[in-house]
Structures are given as C-alpha cells and as structure tokens.
Amino acid sequence: MTKTGSVSYAAGLVVCLLLLSSGSSSIYAQQRDNPQRDSQFWPDTQLAINIRPQWKLILFGTVRLGRNDTAFVNEQVGVGVNRALGKHFSSGLFYRYINAEPTPGRQSREHRIGYEVTARRELGWGWLVQDRNRIEWRDINTRVSWRYRNRLQFERPLAISEHKLTPYVACEPMYDTRHRTWSRTQCYVGSRIPLNKHVTFDGFYMRQWDARANPGFLHVFGAYWRLEY
C-alpha cells in the first residue's frame, strides 16, 4: 500500500465511522430523556516508544464525544510501560487521569492505576485468541474501589487487494467492588489496519451494558490511532 493510498483509506474509514455515529445519533435523539442510554464517539490515540528490546513506554490521550454526539463527556491522559514476556505473554502497568461529565452538572475525577497480563495463542487457520486480565485501583472523587476486567478477543489477519487488515471480535465483562458484582459488559467488533510501520488505525463499534451507570447502555464508534517508534 502506498503512503497516499494508506492515508486516504484510513480517512475514508474515519468518515464512515462518523457517518455511522451520526446515524446512531438520530436513532437515539428519540430517547434523549432516557438518562441510561447514549451514543458516543471515541477518538483515542496511543504512542508506544521502544525503550529496550522487550520494553515500551506508553502514552495515551483522548477527548470523547457523548450525549448523543453533542458534547465532550470524557477526557483522559495516561502513561504506562509494557513488557513482552516471550512470544505468548505480555504485561503492563499504567496510570490514567480521567475527567468525566457524563450528564450536565455531574462531574467526576478519577485517578486509576492498573496492572494487566495478556496471553496470546494461535488457534490454526490464521486465527489468534488473546485473553487480557486487568485489575484496576480507582480513586473516583476520593472514593477508592477495585475493578477486574477480562477481555477475550478473536482475530484473523486478511489481505484485500493490496490492503492488509485484521478484523476482530471481543467481549469484556467487569467486576466492580463498588457493587460487588459483574456490573458492566462491553462487546466489540472492529478491524486494525496498518498504514505504515509506525501507524496503525483501529476502527470499531462497541456496545456497553451497565444498569448501575448513568448512562450505562452505550453505542460507541471508535477511531483508535496507534503510533509506535
């Protein structure tokens, strides 16, 4: 894929995601009085810097659009390290600061520290499964809690003409000590597209179910840019 073709291909995908997100907004415009439901757009960016052969420094940032794609509802910045543990395992430690205003007049500030271990295994016929286990310490408006997340993902690389992409499906249930139950589930369908050796674009659609959050039932379109140097 040429550089110009890569950029135009990614730009087209971003436009499609925005159009789909706008379409979902019109659907949910009829439910604006329902505080439990929302349509959102997540344009996330991650920068990975190789500092040693098996170590990476990770920088992360995002400003997310919600309230049926009409207002900024979430800003995040973060830093972490990731270590490759052979071919099939990796681990990571990170910190995130999150400022959220999911509904007008309701704001939260969170300090989050997380540790994760990810296992990968080839299944045959080109399929790969990943199992990420993450535990998070969370200070939300000075209230401390813990959360466990388990993301299981299946993916298979494909080549369409000269374009390479990796479609995937994933599901991630979460156990929250604030509620002492598995309170949230997120399911994804998407595709990673390498644009060059430094830039990968990940476009996805995600559904979230969480009866204890407000809003907790989300339709999310995401544009995740991964930069690596």
pLDDT in tens, 75-121: 999 999 999 998 899 999 999 999 999 888 889 999 999 999 999 99
Domains annotated for the chain, with CATH where assigned, are 3-228 (2.40.128)
Q: Look at residue 164 and tell me whether its pLDDT is greater than 80.
A: yes
In this prediction, residue 202 carries a pLDDT of: 96
Alpha-carbon distance of 46 to 214, in angstroms, equals 27
pLDDT of res. 33: 59
Task: Quote the CA–CA distance of 22 and 76 in Å, as a whole number.
Answer: 23
Cα separation, 109 vs 215, whole angstroms: 16
Closest CA to 10 of 205, 202, 226: 202
pTM: 0.83
Residue 125 binned pLDDT confidence (cut-offs 50, 70, 90): confident
Q: Which of 173, 213, 215 is nearest to 69 (CA)?
A: 215
Residues ≥6 apart with Cβ < 8 Å to 114: 80, 92, 93, 94, 95, 96, 134, 135, 136, 137
Confidence at residue 115, expressed as pLDDT on a 0 to 100 scale: 98
